[in-house]
Structure 1
């Protein structure tokens, strides 16, 4: 089962994946010895493999020390690439925190060959800028510092005459790369691209060149972008909780004392010299790894890696000795304030990667929360004793930790939530869990790993994490077998020694955060982008031809086969060629639009049992089988599904049908469920993302009569009869339905369905769906007040009805104009003017026919920059800059992305479902590909003039009203200040 983790742990944790089976009937598997073996390929390169490794890893070490992780996955002609460096915020100088992260940004700016049109002249200006920053850092007088900064700004403008912005991004875009990005954390900086397989050699040349040399061009504009990122962190309460937790756990170690983003004071006083020194020290082959997973040939790939990255100069790297922590002997209490809902975090410090703690804490965590049958899952979430609770571990090089988090119900204190969570840990310490759980949770992990290892990005992530944490891949392959050796007695003994009063508790309370740092708008002069120019490197790069890669399109009617059950229901199916996992979906083409009670009933079912099983027992029965059961509903669809190992499909289906036919109402559970809904609504009101992208977005589209506002009041919910909702669930089978099966042995699935899925002779038609009318947009500004540093704006214009013939032009337009690091919008607003950390726009095609398309744009920026950012965005939306080279690169990228795309596995069915909603019966990528091939810049300009230029925008704004310039907003339309309760129709 997919374990639900607290958000910050989900973002940062790495899940290591292992293939295996999951069934309650199987005996524990005998341990197979796993060993590392050495080999030599035809070209003489030595590599390591691990026996019984389902991932097929080849691990090379080049002469200069560079580690190269290679694995083959031929599902699509793409390669997931990572360049990982053991260089993170742990190693930032204490007087220059945030350095590793800022360096990550600057590595995208090019070299003495990439991104310059006259390096001889440009480098002189860059030297002056570097010297000025050293003077700026040393100067204590505020006015003199400002004067030095004005000089930096002046010379930076001069330097920009000889630079070309985003040449690296243009080149990877021209390859057809996706997911171009990077991240920095405690012990790592990792650079990411997913590229078409035929472009590997060009990518290797480009990457090896940029990692061979650092050039700090366009420095002060990018620094302003980092400040915007700093502000986003100040507006993120969960990050503040995370930082407070780390500070308590690690009062000496950089884990707790040096944030990755850095302090405001250090960001204001950067040193280009120090950044160069950091790069020269850590960005060396013996401290780096290249990870490639995808459609590759081992022998030719390693030869090309050696030809490019093998040229980097070898240097010895010595990481600093970091402080050791003393034991925590009593609870450490922290408090964090902010506008979002209250919650509590309880965290125990552990040993790090490759320690016994890693194994025991991993197993303890799964016994406590596995998303289905853990102690916290069943005793707290299932019984609705809290709003929600969960746990998740994290293991780093020096230490790790086990975090527990909980959100209170209405009227419940944070201390009450804390005591309930600690009580579950006490149950673990007393051994109050079933013996079968040990085997079940390990099989559960294997099941999840089997699913995830099919994904080249997930596998590549596991490899780079192994590198960063100095892990032997042999140990990772054998990890679950090591867990199997742990007995219940040993686990209980560990829990009693580990979980004491040695935790850090963080109370996230609602209220004003008095630690917010105000950042001035420095008034940066926009730098020149030189879109019409290019370096000699770029010219040579684009001139080099790669092997051709032809697109492949699907004949859905052949790819999706059908059979019928004896009761006449159609079963669509696609064979699973990779493993023995299956998914079985019952699809009803009705949702909340058809019956307002349907979603209510579906979500209520989570807390119900049957005449044979309690709700908790039912969860355990599914978990024993390794079967995941889901019921979900949307606006126009309802799905009932099970998934797992195909050998357990019959038993899983029997259990599902038993639940479906015999589910029983529970009045107490329903009362708690209504309380939970009301608390969830209150929490939603504190979530700025939900306010902007759900509340304001829906209001901008529909006004008062939006699907979001069509909800029951608390009184109406309380008046509902649980038995009526249960009847809705039971009678769901009486409606028309379709079935989709993905897996092997469809005949066995059909046999099980014929036996278990009993239906009436005549199936009912769906009730009529409620229609929501989209309003015309323009000349309106909707504002919601929220305590935040940044301001966020969404521009929305209603376009023409969906037209499949516009999809080629809109795809190319989005690539050229509004999406990605090399787009017009990003370059103008962030790269040139430093007006926002995030800015994008798009022409969004409707998801179904007879519905309108939309043009939208987004800006997230400091409130004091908002008027300038708005002017910049609206200027672009009314006058699209023309750059022939950039257009050609966007066109080439769009074509290469389609050529490298393969629709496979269950996505064959689901992609066809999406197309049919739009009235399309074939693989329309063919028409899009051919349409883009024929387009010229003038065609794109015509599309812009007909569909974007001159549009009237409804503008949605969320920000702190004390900081917002309302006079500037008045120029955009009539301002209406809205209350969150009104947006969501909460009463």
Structure 2
């Protein structure tokens, strides 16, 4: 997958996850942590050399809250180890200091494509007869070199047909997905990889007892590169490329980089590569890249979790220590000239308009990184930054934000904004620049620097208790050549920066030296389209296996025993003086708390509840303005929220235990004394209107929101049962304020996660005043799911790909089916070694992303659903439809693959630990299903005894022959109508109809 600054795009699944840099900022809401926990400025922070029981030397840092041991093996490999026994798992990363910056100019996208190929096996993994297979692979490589240089289109096509023919013959000697099968057999999760400018990183989260087998496997994987199943994977990468063309956010990002870096690869070589280069690859170039950069002195192994330091490094040294060290010099990349005046870029596409202003900076390990980090938090911290208070809180724009990014050579600081209804992008630009001027003039409170650093300290504490987040921090330090001692000292260094230093820097840095990107609505005339090359499906050899995997499977690790929860003892209870039940789980880790007042009613009970909860965000009281309320919470390092879902409403408070009482007092003051503000409400309604308009331009929202809801409920859904803008305008905002205040008079309960529950109850008794008997909830409106089958619901959208969602209403929820559905999803529909992934992508190369699932209901008596998804080029639609429907009616029975899926499912359950606040929230989910115990124990025992015949029986009874509603989004002019007509009656649905939006122009004022 490709890693961008704010997110990862998976090569395996249609989803994204946040980059750790963004996670680092997003976690700011949780409060202030004591300096003692993170290392205060008075503590001595220095690197120290030590020796372990094996005689191997390592580095540590005094007062390091992560407890890192950093080893450097004799061959130059870096090994980052940290211990956390919260769960018997280890987050693993294998990081290589090589990304798209080093792609040859005539082979852009090479590093990323290589990342894909590292999953295909070696001369031992994934082969049935290496001596025969390698001869075919040599022919394929030679053919690709001819194909690359051939200029005659017809001859080029003929060469590709020969590649396809030889590839089919080569597949007789290969086994698809053997690496994925082995990691799955370990019980691994998150098996994936990503590529960016300076890095390629391989991911796995494994059960702790499987560490030795995993190390053996990975040492083999990185010892040899074999480019098997090459042309089918190439088509998958091109589907990934197509997704980029359908993503306006990516296009804006690329335009920004191109402006900031007119000669550096950051702006001149995208990680995905050009369409032309992707279609003309060189296997020789890929081998050369691997041989040059995938060497131990350019790599790191990162392991964070339940491990023994001495035993782990001994095994790493026995496996990865055998890799041969080589001489390596990274290319010297161009230096950019200063930007002296604004550079303007425009991007067009179907999504909502936005604007960004970006300033180029120096990279990591510079003083600028510290100053910009601090400037960014002063500008936007989610609560009390200049953008937060002056633009978002006052609703002067639809949304404004900022974020910094720091790579090795350069970084940048970006400010972005989305316009309100009727507002121009230039007006948003002016407002953003005005806030930057306030920073330059020092128009922010003196206390902000200390508050920001404390906020970051808490974010860091939360990050470091999460294995995955901490492992991310380690591999990024390796890639960026950062000394860990400097990372530990980083926040203390920020605290030493004075306001005057910050203001002086801002005046020297934020000038007319920015890149301005206008994201406008309109047709993108630069789309690169390619014809389907007509790939012959390759042989998967699903029930065959290499000698390597046979030997691998014979190695038995010490079994990991599952642990289940007795919720009745794990969740304790007490009461307030008002007789409100307080459920609690003690926080054994730190002094952070999370307090939730829960009302078992939501927007189904009163449609205005969610409206009122959102409106409270913009209100002040008789004592504080709305902006001052935000500041007071930020000073305390405590965050609050009010959220109304369909069946629940939450009033929450999070932060440091010692500030719980003051934070609750402030929250209760706002709750009791909020003052209606007509101007704020009018802007709020405008914001809702613009949010609806923006939302209907997002294809993901159309497919997974509008179309999916229509497929499930028809016209009568929560999504469509909304108040129109004229109805919202007619509401007296005083009514909404009274609705929020009246919530206190309804039945309620409390969940507390933290230390000293007595202190929490004392605070509730003092500040959460309840008078009289509590009221029962209003009756909830019910929304009935419609029967599915015979319908194709289509929405037109300007995009390269076509995306389809197949949806069938199943039987009512039955807890007895939970074990079978979980095993079925592992075997059939999800994961890299699943049947659907293998058939749709690996064999036929029909899609970048394809999956299927038996989706169990969230509530007792609700129906389950069968769903399947495929996203593909429009000209592959017919084949993709046929392939998916064939699978959904004829489940292949592969005994070996079933046994591997069964073993993987059992190991995942065995390694799972439900801890901390998740104990309470998991129990809440189970109770909605009518389950009052940890049902994983029953599932585990059931799965142990299941056979392939049992799974086939589950498939035949619950999935085979189901009648589907098919939801389709794509470009109407490219649509293969005949393929869709085979699935049912086609109904084109307008976006406004899907969401039941009445255009504002039609609303009577």
Q: TM-score range by the shorter chain?
A: over 0.9
Look up the SS of the partner of 1:223 in the other structure. helix
**Is residue 969 of structure 1 aligned with residue 980 of structure 2?**
yes
* Residues 6 and 391, structure 1, Cα contact 8 Å, conserved in 2: no
CA distance in 2, matches of 1:167, 1:30: 51
Q: Which residue of 2 aligns with 1:878?
A: 889
Q: In the alignment, which residue of structure 2 is the partner of 1:357?
A: 368
| Contact 1:23–1:625 (8 Å) recurs in 2 | no
1:123-181 Cα distance to aligned partner (Å, 9 max, x none): 00000000000000111111100000000000000000000000000000000000000
Find the partner of 2:476 among 457, 465, 490. 465
Counterpart for residue 729 of structure 1: 740
The aligned residue for residue 696 of structure 1 is: 707
1:573-619 residue CA offsets vs partner (Å, 9 max, x unmatched) = 00000000000000000011000000000001110011110000000
The 1-side partners of 2:35 and 2:765 are apart by 24
Q: Which residue, out of 102, 115, 121, partners 1:110? A: 121
- Contact persistence 2:20–2:469 (CA under 8 A): no
1:15 to partner: Cα distance: 5.8
* CA-to-aligned-CA distance 1:2-33 (integer Å, 9 cap, x gap): xxx9779954736669999828999x964323
CA distance in 2, matches of 1:460, 1:188: 15
Aligned to 1:591, what secondary structure does the other structure show? coil
Q: Deviations over 1:918-976 (max 9, x none)?
A: 00000000011011001000000000000000001000000000001111111110000
What's the CA shift string for 1:274-301, capped at 9, x where partnerless?
Answer: 0000000000000000000000000000
Q: String of CA shifts for 1:757-796, please: whole Å, max 9, x gaps.
A: 1112200000000000000000000000000000000000
Q: What are the equivalent positions in structure 2 for 1:791-806 lying under 5 Å apart?
A: 791-806=802-817
Report the number of matched residues: 983
Shift in Å, 1:43: 0.9
2:21 pairs, out of 13, 17, 35, with 13
Report whether the alignment pairs 1:716 with 2:724.
no
Counterpart in the other structure of 1:187: 198
Confirm or deny that 1:224 pairs with 2:235: yes
Q: Distance in 1 between matches of 2:940 and 2:458?
A: 37
Stretches of 4+ aligned residues off by more than 4 angstroms: 5-10, 14-21, 23-26
Structure 2 residue corresponding to 1:744, chosen from 755, 758, 761:
755
Q: Is the 8 A contact 2:31 2:639 kept in 1?
A: no
Q: Alignment partner of 1:478: what SS? A: helix
TM-score by length of 1: 0.98
Give the alignment partner of residue 205 of structure 1, picking from 193, 208, 216. 216
Aligned to 1:437: 448
How far does residue 519 in structure 1 lie from its aligned partner after superposition?
1.2
Partner of 1:369: 380
Confirm whether residue 850 of structure 1 aligns to residue 861 of structure 2.
yes
CA RMSD of aligned residues (A): 1.5
Distance 1:615 1:600, change over 3 A: same
Report whether the alignment pairs 1:598 with 2:598.
Answer: no
1:22 pairs with 2:32: yes
What pairs with 1:35-434 in structure 2 (closer than 5 Å)? 35-434=46-445
What SS is found at the alignment partner of 2:112? helix
Which sections of structure 2, spanning at least 5 residues, go unmatched? 9-16, 999-1005
Name the SS for the 2:973 alignment partner: coil
SS of equivalent to 2:204: strand
Partners in 1 of 2:6 and 2:299 — Cα distance? 30
Pairs within 5 Å for 1:523-562: 523-562=534-573
Q: Could you say what secondary structure the match of 1:108 adopts?
A: coil
Q: Is the 8 A contact 1:21 1:446 kept in 2?
A: no
The 3-state SS of whatever aligns with 1:501 is coil
Gaps of 5+ in 1: none
CA separation in 2, counterparts of 1:516 and 1:650? 57
How far residue 561 of structure 1 moved from its aligned partner, in angstroms, is: 0.2
The aligned counterpart of 2:908 is: 897
Determine the C-alpha separation between the residues in 2 that align with 1:21 and 1:115.
50
Q: Per the alignment, in what secondary structure is the counterpart of residue 659 of structure 1?
A: helix
Post-superposition shift, 1:316?
1.7
Distance (whole Å) between structure 1 residues aligned to residue 807 and residue 659 of structure 2: 48
Contact 1:338/1:511 (<8 A) preserved: yes
Contact 1:31–1:481 (CA<8 Å) still a contact in 2?
no
- d(CA) in 2 for partners of 1:884, 1:867: 30
Q: Is the 2:570–2:919 contact (alpha carbons within 8 Å) kept by the matching residues of 1?
A: yes
Once the two structures are superposed, residues 822-868 of structure 1 have per-residue CA deviations (whole angstroms, 9 ceiling, x without a partner) of 00000000000000000000000000101000000000000100110
Question: Deviations along 1:524-570, whole A, 9 cap, x unmatched?
Answer: 00000001100000000011000110000000000000001111000
Q: Which residue of 2 aligns with 1:569?
A: 580
Aligned residue number for residue 45 of structure 2? 34
Q: Note if contact 2:31-2:654 (Cα within 8 Å) is conserved in structure 1.
A: no
Q: Distance in 1 between matches of 2:64 and 2:40?
A: 16
**In the alignment, is residue 919 of structure 1 matched against residue 927 of structure 2?**
no
Distance in 1 (alpha carbons) for counterparts of 2:42 and 2:198: 33
CA contact (8 A) 1:15 1:462 kept: no
Map 1:824-839 to 2 at 5 A: 824-839=835-850
1:447 to 449, 452, 458: 458
Once the two structures are superposed, residues 253-274 of structure 1 have per-residue CA deviations (whole angstroms, 9 ceiling, x without a partner) of: 0000000000011011100000
Alpha-carbon distance between aligned partners in 2 of 1:49 and 1:209, rounded to the nearest angstrom? 29
2:990 to 974, 979, 987: 979
The CA deviation string for residues 224-252 of structure 1, in whole angstroms up to 9 with x for no partner, is 00000000000000000000000000001
Give the match for residue 827 of structure 2.
Answer: 816
Q: Distance in 2 between matches of 1:30 and 1:125?
A: 62
Q: Deviations over 1:305-360 (max 9, x none)?
A: 00100011111211000000000000000000000000001000000000111000
Separation (CA, whole Å) in 1 of partners of 2:32 and 2:800 = 48
1:24/1:624 contact within 8 Å kept: no
Change (3 A) 1:621 1:24: farther
Give the Å deviation of 1:907: 0.2
How far apart are the structure 1 equivalents of 2:44 and 2:344?
46
Please say if residues 24 and 440 of structure 1, whose CA atoms lie closer than 8 Å, have aligned partners that are also in contact. Answer: no
> Aligned to 1:952, which of 943, 960, 963?
963
Alignment check: 8 A CA contact 1:349 1:402 kept:
yes
Structure 1 Cα separation of the partners of residues 66 and 663 of structure 2: 29
Q: For 1:480 and 1:930, locate their aligned partners in 2 and report how far apart those are by CA, in whole Å.
A: 49
**Aligned partners of 1:78 and 1:294 also within 8 Å:** yes
Maintained 8 Å contact 1:877/1:949:
yes
For the 8 Å contact 2:99–2:111, the answer to whether it is kept is yes
Contact 1:14 1:465 in 2 (8 A): no
Question: 1:518 — aligned with what?
Answer: 529
2:512 paired with 1:501: yes
Q: Distance in 2 between matches of 1:207 and 1:685?
A: 44
Distance 1:580 1:978, change over 3 A: same
Compared CA separation, residues 21 and 412, structure 1 to 2 (3 A): closer
